[in-house]
A = this chain, B = another copy of it.
């Protein structure tokens, strides 16, 4: 296959800028490597609320499902912060994950030598850190029922159900086992099995799947509170981490801070089959939107994950990653990456896109 349909979801804030830069880079790569991409666009988040009164309209879902893959920029902004839940940008994101069956979220936190000083942790602690967090994305307390706010004995009571079925745990464990076996071969499953029944089942099923079907993967278990400590104490102990949706939400964000610059972190959300969604981990930064100050590299690295996981072009994915590193080596930095006395030149979002496009 040498032609792919890719849906772009530019979203809000700096989304359109980084999408344009990413598209240019991937286009240059396609030209160089002789494949074709047919680009489409669709609405999500605040942009979709404004245009369609729905943070993820049906036509966007259909457009995404009809594609080979989806590249999402970022969503959200002050403008929609006071909206009711069903008209908030995040709700569109959750709907997209659920309706596209994107149950596995892969979030690498890799410390690049060029940017090591951006970390708030000491150099010897973060040098060489390369952690992959595999987060379950369509279950847990995020989607569990019953849920709500009721009146009980004259007072309000709020509740959400933290729930996992065996099959949900089984399939995320397989993704994690697969990812770990292609990386360092070490998998740490994070839960709270000393307190929670749902975690006890999680631990049982993960243990079964990995010991039976991934005999080469070395499995360990860690409580979530300890994992939150160990990520700071000695992050190099981790290779691949697997956890449920809410613990993964917290730990993947914590892990991303080891890297120092959120502007470099990609992610992949994938399902059993069908298109995945690839997106940077950072937000929509409404305060700098439209000023050509945004950093497109996390979205460009997300495109590399798309090439690897959805378009089955691992070599092209590697080329793209190398081009990003080459740009850093060439001494150009977007404002967020600039460190005092690093001798680097500050460039805008568009120029960074052009530079990486030239380097692929």
Contact B158 A246 (CB under 8 A): no
Of the residues B164, B251, B257, contact of A233 by C-beta under 8 Å? B257
Interface presence of A162 (CB below 8 A)? yes
Residues of B within 8 A of A262 (CB): 229
Q: What would be 29 A-B contacts, judged by CB atoms less than 8 Å apart?
A: A120-B122, A120-B232, A121-B232, A141-B141, A142-B195, A147-B197, A149-B198, A155-B166, A156-B205, A157-B201, A158-B200, A158-B201, A158-B202, A159-B163, A160-B197, A161-B162, A192-B246, A224-B249, A224-B250, A225-B249, A225-B250, A225-B253, A226-B253, A228-B250, A228-B257, A229-B254, A229-B256, A232-B257, A232-B258
- Total chain A interface residues with beta-carbon distance under 8 A: 59
Instruction: Describe A's contact surface by its main secondary structure.
Output: helix
Q: Report copies per complex.
A: 2
Interface string of A319-338 (1 = CB under 8 A from B): 00000000000000000000
A159:B225 contact, CB within 8 angstroms:
no
A236-247: CB near B (< 8 Å → 1, else 0) gives 000000000011
Complex Cα distance, B199 from A159, in Å, reads 8
**Contact A166/B156 with A228-B250, A232-B232 known, Cβ cut-off 8 Å:** yes
Q: Which residue of the partner chain B has the closest CB to A126?
A: B120
Contact across chains for B155 and A167 when beta carbons are under 8 A apart:
yes
**Set of chain B residues within 8 Å of A202, measured between Cβ atoms:** 158
Give the residue name and chain of the B residue nearest to A165 (CB).
B157
CA distance A262 to B251 in the complex (A): 20
